[in-house]
Amino acid sequence: DVQKYADEVGECYKNAEYNRRICSVLLKRVYSVASEVKVLGLLKDDYSWFFENNDNYPIFQGLVKLIEKVKNFVIDISQLQGVGKYFNEYRGPEFLERKYYSLIGEFETSTEALTHVLK
């Protein structure tokens, strides 16, 4: 459920010890997508064609998986224990930065796909 994951990311942000700025950017994107999905659900009668088309299901699947990835990333980078993982296992802050920009890129692609389908 998109809203559930969004709320979990929000809780991670509230409890973040580190990287609050990164967490806040991702939190805003997660809540933006969750809001779009909620509105789409509320207007499902107007968008019945969207829900009846099985080709649109992978878009939602991708969004849910992406938000789950963001949640796990925020959990990792918001606590000292998780930050250490990125510095030790992945050899430095460059990996953390690449992962962050990769997630941002995935958000752009996913939201563009959703917007394109709904136009």
Q: What is the DSSP string of 72-105?
A: HHHHHHHSHHHHHHHHHTS-SHHHHHHHHHHHHH
Give the pLDDT of residue 56: 80
Distance CA 18, CA 77 (A): 7
Query: What percent of the chain has a predicted confidence (pLDDT) above 70?
Result: 87
Give the pLDDT of residue 66: 92
Distance CA 86, CA 58 (A): 30
CA neighbor of 73 nearest in space, from 93, 98, 100, 105: 100
For the segment 53-103, what is each residue's pLDDT rounded down to a tens digit? 888 888 888 888 999 999 988 988 887 766 666 666 656 677 778 889 999
The dihedral region occupied by 35, where left means phi > 0, alpha psi between -120 and 50, and beta the remainder, is: alpha
Give the pLDDT of residue 88: 66
For residues 105 and 39, which has the higher predicted lDDT (pLDDT)? Answer: 105
Task: With a cut of 90, say whether residue 28 has pLDDT above it.
Answer: yes
Instruction: Label residue 50 by pLDDT band (50, 70, 90).
Output: confident
For the segment 5-23, what is each residue's pLDDT rounded down to a tens digit? 899 999 999 988 888 888 9
User: What rounded mean pLDDT belongs to the chain?
Assistant: 84
C-alpha dihedral sign at 95, 101, 105, 108? positive
